[in-house]
């Protein structure tokens, strides 16, 4: 019962946080800034010129990330609570498509990330976000391969949870960003967010993915086998 309650609380947090950030970014980039371009001079003013030059990959990255965050939040809730909805597969397909699209655009934007004021900043932030994009893309492919080719629902569940932990970096980076702004350390420490925004998420995601589902309502007519799921990288 305690584990069920914890999972429901985590699911509620993920859903609220994910939808909130998705709505915030959609409103900012697709409504507020187009209607009032002057806003861009105050929101991440250091990157205004870069965002203008790389507007297309930026918007693709933001749009794909927003869709992935929204779709993934809904499907993770069903995964954590063990209650699968009829639209789970369709929402999952939308999620994977959004992740793959956003990850490709994110690879382009990783090289344009803000490097801060230190000489090492550009390398740290670029390598961090580039690693995130590669892992985000790769784990989505592993999740898709597990269910579409191997028909391994447990491995699929594992990789989807791990993948969504990377998607959730869209939430954690904004929390960390706000903390840096409030502390006056934004320009000095922002490059570290290239790693800090997703590595803790990944560790938590792996820990959650290794836990057995609370109950097997995904396939109520089937009995669980004693064979542990296979989570190799191949």
Q: Domain segments of the chain: what residues?
A: 2-210
**Residue 230: band (very low, low, confident or very high) from pLDDT cuts 50, 70, 90:** very low
Burial class for 45, CB neighbours closer than 10 Å (0-12, 13-18, 19+) = exposed
Neighbours of 19 (CB within 10 A): 15
pLDDT at 227: 41
Please determine, for residue 7, whether its predicted confidence score (pLDDT) is greater than 70: no
pLDDT at 4: 66
Neighbours of 221 (CB within 10 A): 5
pLDDT at 223: 42
Rounded mean pLDDT, 163-190: 92
Rounded mean pLDDT, 197-224: 71
Token output for 81: 């609570």
Per the prediction, the chain carries an average pLDDT of 82
Global pTM reads 0.81
Please determine, for residue 18, whether its predicted confidence score (pLDDT) is greater than 60: yes
Q: pLDDT tens-digit profile of 112-157?
A: 999 999 999 999 999 999 999 999 999 999 999 999 999 999 999 9
d(CA 122, CA 196): 15
**Exposure of 25 in the CB half-sphere (CA atoms within 13 A):** 22
Name the more confident of 227 and 71: 71
pLDDT at 181: 87
Q: pLDDT tens-digit profile of 69-111?
A: 999 988 877 766 666 667 888 999 999 999 999 999 999 999 9
Taking CA atoms, 65 is separated from 22, 99, 100, 133, 143, in Å, by: 8, 7, 10, 11, 17
């Amino acid at each position: 019962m305690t584990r069920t309650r914890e999972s429901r609380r985590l699911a509620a947090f993920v859903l609220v946080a994910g939808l909130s950030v998705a709505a915030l970014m959609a409103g900012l980039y697709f409504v507020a800034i187009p209607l009032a371009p002057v806003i861009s001079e105050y929101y991440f003013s250091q990157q205004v010129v870069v965002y203008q030059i790389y507007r297309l990959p930026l918007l693709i990255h933001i749009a794909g990330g927003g869709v992935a965050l929204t779709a993934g939040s809904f499907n993770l809730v069903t995964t954590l609570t063990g209650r699968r909805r009829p639209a789970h597969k369709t929402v999952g397909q939308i999620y994977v498509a959004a992740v793959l699209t956003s990850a490709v655009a994110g690879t382009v934007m990783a090289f344009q990330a803000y490097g801060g004021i230190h000489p090492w900043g550009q390398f740290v932030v670029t390598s961090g976000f580039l690693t995130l994009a590669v892992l985000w893309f790769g784990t989505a492919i592993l999740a898709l391969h597990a269910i579409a080719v191997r028909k391994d629902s447990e491995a699929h569940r594992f990789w989807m949870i791990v993948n969504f932990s990377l998607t959730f970096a869209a939430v954690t980076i904004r929390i960390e960003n706000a903390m840096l702004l409030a502390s006056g350390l934004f320009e000095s420490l922002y490059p570290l967010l290239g790693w800090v925004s997703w590595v803790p998420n990944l560790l938590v995601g792996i820990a959650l993915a290794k836990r057995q589902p609370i109950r097997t309502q995904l396939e109520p007519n089937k009995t669980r086998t004693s064979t542990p799921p296979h989570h190799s990288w191949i």
